[in-house]
Structure 1
Amino acid sequence: MAIAAVKKWDIQQLDINNAFLHGFLDEEVYMNPPPGYKKAQPGQVCKLNRSIYGLKQASRCWNKELTKFLVNWGFVQFKQDYSMFVLKQNGSFLIVVAYVDDLLLTGNDNSLINDLKVALHTAFTIKDLGSLKYVLGIEVSRSGSGIFLNQRKYILDLLRDQNMENCNAAPFPMSKGLRLNMDDGDLLGDPEVYRRLIGKFLYLNMSRPDISYVVQQLSQFLGAPRKPHFDATLHVLRYLKGSLNFGLFYPTNSDFVLTGYSDADGGTCSDSGRSLTGNCVFLGNSLISWKTKKHKVVSKSSTEAEYRSMSHTADELIWLERLLVELDITIPTPLTLYCDNVSAIHIAKNPCFHEKTKHMRGKSQKIDVHYIREQVQSGFIQLKHVRSALQLADIMTKPLGSDQHRFLSSKIGLVNNTPVQEWPGVSQLAHS
């Protein structure tokens, strides 16, 4: 989306009709004769030559057929993301992104895109949905200033399911200072309601990075949710009611500079004492990656927690740089990674701090936590300090007051879906 906005490429959408029926089986599979089939003798079964809806391997069989078709057409499947395919031909550049039977097509040659649609329809039969407007629960709006993504309808359905269409709005997704744990409060009588809500929040997080922290927190209690957990979930719904029209904005007047922000909230988990990593990565002014994740080990200090967080963010930066290179996007290096902990930056730059870091080990005794140090020494990543008030990843690691939450939300590219011509200019987006 960010690349298409800058290059002003049209994004086409299509759907494959009866996709799972196009796959061929590699093993022997038998099924009972379906209801209404009269020719089968008693005790006879049907041998399947093709996949059919209901088979566990049906989606994999379809994916193999689609990949085979696109590769034969000249596409190359990405090694960094196997759902993406790229075609470079006589100056033409096409990208196909596949999600089961939903395909997005974009590139600099619309006639070649039309030829691909004809070929797909001949091979599988398709439903051509034209320019992208709505995909996988995400609404896509486009103007001369950029592309706007939000999930307004999805949120309305959530509120309607919980009979909260008329609830009072909340100014932030989680109360500041609230600490949830596994033992306080009564167990819910029907935990499935809580689990369904959290699953929907996880999906909503695709266009709403402002709820990343609270979704991570609430996801920890799926095994045995309690009343305080459910109350916090209802508070998220009230926040979504008040920010119904918010979504991510990808501007056209952006560049292709990859920038990361890394933050950690030291030892805040009441049950394990582990810290949280929060990171967000921008391509120019467009937020393209974000995450809130609990560390696998306990950190002995806030500096160690920040150091581990930088290492995790470096992983994401390196993967995205390789992905963009495959998309023929030249990314200038070194990549800039912002952190608000001066001590962690010094440790990453100075390998002589052995006394403070000799105990740091990752999974299976592998010293993967020092990965960030290698990237800094090689010149691939440069570390810069940022004031805590301007640390954009702060919204991923802790509950904030309403003013700071609104401030950081605007800085990471969340805007209100006002009429298209009134969208704010990207020059106002914060991190630049």
Structure 2
Amino acid sequence: MKDLGLLKYFLGVEVAKSPAGIFLCQRKYALDIISEVGLLGSKPMETPLEQNHNLGLAKGQFLDNPDRYRRLVGRLIYLCFTRPELSYSVHVLSQFMQQPRAEHWTAALRVVRYLKGNPGQGIVLDKDCDMRLSGWCDADWAACPLTRRSLTGWIIFFGHSPVSWKTKKQQTVSRSSAEAEYRSMANTTCELKWLKGILTSLGITHPMPTVISCAMK
């Protein structure tokens, strides 16, 4: 073993330290994705996915080379390590890995064009931390047009720093939007309890109450 100095780059993640904290991004990795699909000269998109999309009901032709789609979505999944705003888009695209259609490939390219607008965006781990966990969650009732299952999304902060985020389908069908929101809060609570257990094992006490905020409609 030998000391390689301060951490600057590890497994595609770029690390920049400052008196304010630590900044994590995957700029080089994002640029590699953009270059691989040939969109370096394309116009950036403002959003990663079209609003009110119907990708679950797509009827276009199946892709002749689905491996290319699977590789792109797989790389986008790893990019979510420092890009929480991509969680929903990548979750949707990853549902069609077995038999992707032309519409799915177009949607994946839109995500890449969104990356081109700011490939160096990442997350900041703030130095000033009050050691308090807090979570934000939301649910999209009956978001899946095929199974009618709702979608849960959450992001959890430790102080002012994001430490956990995810978008996933709920395991059961909710009969109302309120039920979907409560299931979303239940999933977020499980994640918070798991993170609190990790802090305890590291010797960090967390006596303050944990706050969960939910966008109830």
Same fold (TM over 0.5): yes
* Contact 2:58–2:103 (Cα < 8 Å) also in 1: no
Partners of 2:31 and 2:214 lie apart in 1 by 37
Picking from 11, 19, 22, the partner of 1:147 is 22
CA distance in 1, matches of 2:35, 2:68: 14
CA distance in 1, matches of 2:15, 2:147: 40
Q: Deviations over 1:353-378 (max 9, x none)?
A: xxxxxxxxxxxxxxxxxxxxxxxxxx
Q: Which residue of 1 aligns with 2:111?
A: 236
Distance 1:226 1:310 in 2: 34
Which has the higher relative contact order, 1 or 2, with Cα contacts under 8 A spaced 6 or more apart? Answer: 2
For 1:140, what is the secondary structure of its paired residue? strand
Structure-1 separation of matches of 2:25 and 2:57: 33
Larger Rg: 1 or 2?
A: 1
Give the 3 Å change call, closer, same or farther, for CA 333–151 of structure 1 in structure 2: same
Q: Which moved more, 1:285-294 or 1:171-180?
A: 171-180
Q: Work out the CA distance in 2 between the residues paired with 1:198 and 1:285.
A: 29
CA contact (8 A) 1:180 1:270 kept: no
Pick aligned residue for 1:300 from 172, 175, 180:
175
3-state SS of 2:96 partner: coil
| CA deviations over 1:22-55 (Å, ceiling 9, x no partner) | xxxxxxxxxxxxxxxxxxxxxxxxxxxxxxxxxx
Secondary structure of 2:61 counterpart: coil
**Structure 1 Cα separation of the partners of residues 195 and 177 of structure 2:** 27
1:282 aligns with 2:157: yes
Whole-Å separation in 2 of the counterparts to 1:127 and 1:236: 40
Runs of 5+ consecutive residues of structure 1 not aligned to the other structure: 1-125, 342-387, 389-432
- Contact 1:146 1:249 survives alignment (8 Å): yes
Post-superposition offset of 1:261 = 1.1
Q: Are the aligned partners of 1:182 and 1:221 in contact in 2 as well (CA < 8 Å)?
A: no
The alpha-carbon deviation at position 175 of structure 1 amounts to 1.2
Residue-by-residue CA offset, 1:266-285 (whole Å, 9 max, x unaligned)? 00111111100101111010
Q: In the alignment, which residue of structure 2 is the partner of 1:217?
A: 92
Task: Tell me the TM-score normalised to structure 1 length.
Answer: 0.49
Q: Percent identity?
A: 46
Unaligned runs of 5+ in 2: none
Question: Counterpart in 2 of 1:74?
Answer: none
1:182 to partner: Cα distance: 5.1
- Which residue does the alignment assign to 1:197? 72
Question: Does residue 330 of the first structure (1) align with residue 169 of the second (2)?
Answer: no
Residue 127 of structure 1 and its aligned partner are, at CA, apart by: 4.6
> Superposition pairs for residues 10-25 of structure 1, below 5 Å?
none
Give runs of aligned pairs for residues 69-80 of structure 1, distance below 5 A: none
Partner of 2:56, secondary structure, is coil
CA distance in structure 2 between the partners assigned to 1:183 and 1:173 by the alignment: 18
Q: C-alpha distance in 2, partners of 1:164/1:128?
A: 39
**Counterpart pick for 1:184 among 59, 67, 85:** 59
Residue of structure 1 equivalent to 2:13: 138
**Corresponding position: 1:321 with 2:196:** yes
Matched, 1:246 2:121: yes
What is the one-letter code of the residue matched to 2:138? D
1:103-118 paired onto structure 2 within 5 Å: none
Cα contact 1:174–1:235 (8 A) shared by 2: yes
Query: What CA distance in whole angstroms lies between the structure 1 residues aligned with 2:215 and 2:58?
Result: 33
Distance 1:183 1:175 in 2: 14
Runs of 4+ in 1 over 4 A off after TM superposition: none
Of the candidates 19, 38, 58, which is equivalent to residue 163 of structure 1?
Answer: 38
TM-score (norm. length: structure 2): 0.97
Instruction: Report Cα offsets for 1:113-162 as digits up to 9, x if no partner.
Output: xxxxxxxxxxxxx3532211111110000111111000000011111111
State the distance in 2 between where 1:284 and 1:333 align: 12
Aligned to 1:259: 134
Letter of the structure 1 residue corresponding to residue 175 of structure 2: K
RMSD: 1.2
